[in-house]
Each structure stands twice: as C-alpha cells, then as structure tokens.
Amino acid sequence: MTKKRDSLPAEDRVGTNGRASVPRFGHGSRVPGWDEAVDLRKDPADVPDPATVPVPPQLRAEIEAHMAKYPDHRSAVIAGLAAAQRHHGWCSPEAIDQVACVMRLTPGYLVSIATFYDMLENQPVGRHSVYVCTNISCSLCGAEELLAAMEEATADDPDFNVRHFECLGACDIAPMASVDGVYVGPISLDEVPTLLEQVREGAPVLPAKQLTQRAVAEPLAVLPKGPTTYGGRMPEEALGPPAAIEQEPIGPAEGSKQSNEKAV
C-alpha cells in the first residue's frame, strides 16, 4: 500500500505550492481501504452458533486434535486457521466462521490473527504457493530478478500464488524459493520455466536442487584459535568448489563419460 503512494508520478506529488502533497482518496482519507474492513451498521459478530454453521467433520476433527494438545485451547488458533486454509484455500469468511465455531472464539478475534501472520491468506489465492525470498542474502544473489521472472511467467495462471517473502532461512542456497513448502535453490533464471512446469505436473520441483539434497558445507570445519593463516589473499587450496551439494552427476557429465567409454 505504502509503496504505491511513494511511487506516484512526480507531477502528482508536487502540489500547487510547489511542495509535495499527500494523495487523498475519495472519502478524504490518506489510508487506502480504511473504511472497507468493517460495516459499522452491523453488530459485532459473536461466537457462531454451532446449529447454524456447518463444519466439515474432517476439519473439525483436525482443529479439535490441535486444541487438545495445549493447556489453553486458544493456543491452537494458528493451527486451526492453517487447517481451515488448507481446506478452503484461504481464510475466507466461511473458513473463519467454521474455526470460530469449533474453537468458541469470535470471528473478529480470528481475523486479527489471520491478518497478522504472513502465511495466512486473506484473499483468494492460487493453490500453488511460491514464496521467493527477497531478503538481503538472496537479493545479493539475484532474488529480485528471480521474483520478476516467476511473476512474469505466472501472470496468466491463477493456479499460482507467487509472492516475495522475507528471509526464509535458507541463505546458503540463495536465491531460493519455497515451492508448496519445499525449499529449492539456488534457482537460476533459465530454470524458472522447468520449475513451474514441474509444479503444474505435480512432479518434484528441481529434485537435485532441493534443500534436502544439500550436505553441510564442511562438517569438520572447527578451526583452532590462533593467528590467521589466510591473509588478504587466499591460498590456492582454499579455493575449493563452491558449496558441496551431494547429488548424482547429472546431464552432460554423465553422458559424455559414457560416450567416452563407448568410444574407447
């Protein structure tokens, strides 16, 4: 929201007195959508009546199982909303009502939770979520271009929910994305079409680049204290291959090896 306001064209930003003017909306507010959230003519929604709110038995069982794990059942709100989101695709008013009904909370309370957490969707979204990390480490490695490429390639596909995300905790495979919960990286721009095709087909995305395939870079790397052995320049032996990724040799390397053997 704020982003749009700041990037208004220059002529709109300068008022008649030559100073920057703040854009206003039809209703006089500077905040877009300030009056869209509530209808003040209505009474606040109460805890829904179980007799009038049908809840799918599966969803009810899932939420109740989460509630049973905690001393205070309210602790299960995130789990409950996440379950409803999986069921409905997003935290729709209907989904909120159902969770409210099972957990005996007001819909308003649940909306306050659903709007706080990034992974709970408050608008209908595509069923495949692609979170592209655009935080520092990833953007140093080209995450902005990756996000733009992903957005462009899925612009016409309502099945995709491509969005930028703050640090996903996988800076070692930057630039990376979490595709339906699976961490993949580093993703190069020319792999984007393959990745999206694999998501469409329901196949594992870039199997060789999934986080689970990655070994710890150097597990025996505990160094003793003491003087620095590496000066401004690194010795040659320290220039190893970038990031050890345990994987089968793929594509051309294998093929060329075989063809060589055949030739012999």
Partner 1 sequence: MSENPTNPSSNGRTQPLLLRGIDEEGLHTLEVYRRRGGYEALTKALDMAPGEVLEQLQASGLRGRGGAGFAIGKKASFMPEGAMDKYMVCNADESEPGAFKDRELMQKNPHQLIEGLIIAAYTVGANRAFIYIRGEYQRQADVLDAALAEAQGAGYLGERILGSGFSLTLVVHRGAGAYICGEETALLDSLEGKRGNPRIKPPFPANQGLYQGPTLINNVETLATVPHVITMGGEKYAELGTESSPGTKVVSISGNVRRPGNYEVELGTPVREIIYGLAGGPPEGREVKFFFPGGSSAPVLTAEDLDRPYDFDSMAEAGSMLGSGSVIVVDDSVPVVDVALKVAKFYEHESCGKCSPCREGTRWTRTILQRVDDGTATPMDLDIMASVQEQILGNCLCVLGDSMAMPIGSMVQKFRAEFEAHIEAARARNPFGDEEPEPPLPVVQGAAA
Residues 81 to 100 in contact with partner 1, rule: CB under 8 A: 81-82
Task: Return the number of the residue (57 or 71) whose C-beta is nearest partner 1.
Answer: 71
What is the C-alpha to C-alpha distance for residues 116 and 122, in angstroms, rounded to an integer?
10
Per rule CB under 8 A, is residue 152 in the interface with partner 1? no
Q: Please report, to the nearest 10 degrees, the dihedral formed by the alpha carbons of residues 225, 230, 236, 242 taken in order.
A: 70
Query: Which among 47-55, 77-85, 152-160, 200-208 is the span making contact with partner 1, rule CB under 8 A?
Result: 77-85
* The only residue of 60, 92, 171, 198 in contact with partner 1, by rule CB under 8 A: 171
Q: Which residues pair with 14 in a beta bridge?
A: 20
| Main-chain phi, psi angles of 163, to 5 degrees | -150, 155
* DSSP E strand boundaries for the chain: 128-133, 160-165, 177-179, 182-184
* The only residue of 136, 203, 250, 253 in contact with partner 1, by rule CB under 8 A: 136
Site for partner 1 in 11-50 (CB under 8 A): 12-14, 23-28, 32
What is the C-alpha to C-alpha distance for residues 34 and 213, in angstroms, rounded to an integer?
46
* Residue 254, token pair as written in the block: 């294998």
Query: Which among 37-45, 79-87, 150-158, 194-202 is the span making contact with partner 1, rule CB under 8 A?
Result: 79-87
Per rule CB under 8 A, is residue 155 in the interface with partner 1? no
Per rule CB under 8 A, is residue 234 in the interface with partner 1? yes
Task: Return the number of the residue (75 or 259) whose C-beta is nearest partner 1.
Answer: 75
Measured between its terminal Cα atoms, the distance across the chain in Å is 65
* The only residue of 35, 50, 69, 127 in contact with partner 1, by rule CB under 8 A: 69
Residue type, 80: G
